[in-house]
Chains A and B, each alone.
Chain A
Amino acid sequence: MSTQVAPNPTIATREDPMVPRVFKVQSVRRETADTSTLALQPVPPARHVSGRAARVGPGPSDGAASCAFSPGQFNMVYVFGVGEIPISISGSPRQPQHFIHTTRVVGAVTKALCGLKRGAAVGVRGPFGSAWPLREAEGHDVVIVAGGIGLAPLRPAVLELMAHRDRYGRIALLYGTRSPEDMLFRKELERWRGRFDLEVHVTVDRATAEWRGHVGVVTALFHRATFDPSNTMAMMCGPEVMMRFSARELIKRGATVDRIFASMERNMKCAIGTCGHCQFGPMFICKNGPVLPYSALHSWIEWREI
């Protein structure tokens, strides 16, 4: 398998990737105390009222375009008057009528985003970036490793794997989170856990006696999952240190670096590889990533200065 990192072709075909489309908040669902899932619906092209174009919010309104994306890609979401941030898409690619984004409050923009009400307008640029290697994973066992909010960008991949279940070997989802209260997509995880063709292991860092599940770091879940490391495609998303240790664990068990993929996070501004904010060694996370093979990452991820 080639480990060369190619830029995402969707960027080249976009007419003006720096201009946001206008979307409205279709729904807001609280996942945990500090995490919400928003459905963003494109606003139709400008409506003509009394001979004049009426637009919703600032910027051009070509939002009626499809919300098609590949699992792993992200959008730049602009809260007008506050700022713009990259957020992975957490919905199903089979529902292109809207974008689903799950975000945790960590700063001013995410705080404003999670505070929006139904009907509010936001700007969206994207989707950008590379995708999870679902096609390449066909015929292999698949191990999904998620930490904290990192489950959100992996959710579309899990949904696609389930939609084409017969194309893959064993599938295991290993999810680590801070506490039972911080668990994302709790009901969906329970549904997935009930399936016979998907192994789900959840662990938390801290818990009281009411929690009946595992307690410990996500790397401690590897020995509980059933998979053949030499024939496994791994997909990881979460804090970098968690992915580093998870990759080490996978490699120790016999997985190869070109079959381990990680979704990276950096300070992305332009999302098209021109501003340089998200440079990571020879790569730009927005253009070459965010999903990258570990073979391209591993020599850089150990550098503290990167």
Chain B
Amino acid sequence: MQEQPLDAFLAAHPFFKELDQAYLHLLAGCASNVVFQPGQYLFREGDQANRFFAIRQGKVALEIAVPGRVAITIETLDDGDVLGWSWIVPPHTKQFDARAVELTRALAFDATCLRGKCEHDPKLGFELMKRFTQLLGQRLQATRLQLLDVYTSSA
């Protein structure tokens, strides 16, 4: 993958669109490149939400482990998706397992560092809260559509 400054990557990312340059710089300062091999877990249900991810390339499955059965994938995320909202919502606990389906490159953001910055700068905190709440809303809506089991009802 071609090297790209993290600020530039974030500025071009739809999730961070129109965020102040200073905040982009701050976010980039809390981020680091990470790589996950196929099958490797980014995090597990119950883990402390110390990081969230912006996927640069690859595919990640969000799974629920069901005792006595194989894990069920409820959503997959890939290039351009943001993974992990629980870092900003107490009690900061991961709700699902996240497993790399294929070789995945991502930016990992240090949540502990960012939470501190959000506490000190409510404008940044509110801006990020709005974006992650929107993400949470999209995930909730998608889950509700899946729960409707709509594809079976059509003749």
Contacts and interface: CB of A to CB of B under 8 A. Distances in A.
Question: Which of A216, A224, A242 has the most chain B CB within a 10 Å cutoff?
Answer: A216
B61 A209 contact: yes
A164 interface: no
Interface in B91-109: 99, 101-102
Given A206-B74, A209-B61, A224-B78, A241 B145 contact: yes
A47 to B, nearest CB: 35
Interface residues of A, number: 37
B154 A149 contact: yes
B155 A265 contact: yes
Given A205-B146, A245-B145, A215 B73 contact: yes
B72 A216 contact: no
A104 B155 contact: yes
B61 A215 contact: yes
A104 B152 CA distance: 9
Interface residues of B, number: 27
Nearest to B155: A106
B71 interface: yes
A106 B101 CA distance: 35
Nearest to B79: A224
A64 interface: no
Contacts of B80: 223
12 contacts: A205-B146, A205-B149, A206-B146, A208-B73, A209-B99, A215-B75, A215-B76, A216-B146, A238-B154, A239-B153, A241-B145, A242-B151
B70 interface: yes
Contacts of A104: 154-155
Contacts of B62: 215
Contacts, number: 87
B74 A242 contact: no
B145 A148 contact: no
A211 B152 contact: no
A37 interface: no
A127 interface: no
A148 B76 contact: no
Interface of B: 59, 61-63, 70-76, 78, 80, 99, 101-102, 142, 145-146, 148-155
Contacts of A212: 101-102
Given A182-B152, A215-B74, 10 more contacts: A104-B154, A147-B154, A149-B151, A182-B151, A206-B146, A212-B102, A215-B75, A238-B150, A245-B145, A265-B155
Secondary structure class of chain B's binding surface, majority of residues: mixed
A107 B151 contact: no
Contacts of A208: 70-73
B136 to A, nearest CB: 15
Closest 5 interchain pairs by CB? A148-B151, A239-B150, A178-B151, A215-B76, A106-B155
B154 A217 contact: no
A207 B72 contact: yes
Contacts of A239: 150-151, 153-154
B61 A217 contact: no
A238 B74 CA distance: 21
Given A106-B155, A148-B152, A238-B151, A211 B145 contact: no
Contact of A209 (B70, B74, B75, B78): B70
Contacts of B75: 215-216, 220
